[in-house]
Amino acid sequence: MMIYKILRHPEWSQFQSDGQTHGAPVDRVDGFVHFSTALQLGETLRRHFSKEGDLVLLACRDADLGEALRWERSRGGDLFPHLYRALTMDDIAWSRDVARTPRGHETGPLE
């Protein structure tokens, strides 16, 4: 199953430069990298990025992240994937820009 991480372009650029990341500031504070499933992604964008453009969507295969990936209850009791290690460039299956339109963020098709 694919899971998704949203980064701002400066965070993505730093990730590419470093080869790994502990995520956005909220991830570092919480101690894990927050991910969303395809079904959770729209609400994540609305709640946390509604006024932001310049975003990048990263896709990772959950099975490739190993034991450091935990599914934990969060918003509304849903299980969310949380990664308890640095995310590496090798973990990324694909990435693309997220378009901000008058209707909201457009991620393109999700797998």
Q: When comparing pLDDT for 100 and 59, which is higher? A: 59
Banded pLDDT at 102 (limits 50, 70, 90):
confident
Give the residue extent of every domain in the chain: 2-100
Q: How far is CA 2 from the centre of its chain?
A: 11
The pTM (predicted TM-score) of the whole model is: 0.94
Superfamily of domain 2-100: Protein of unknown function DUF952 (3.20.170.20)
Is pLDDT of 52 > 90?
no
Task: Give the angle 96-57-17 at the CA atoms, nearest 5°.
Answer: 80
Q: What is the pLDDT of residues 9-35, one digit of tens each?
A: 999 999 999 999 999 999 999 999 999
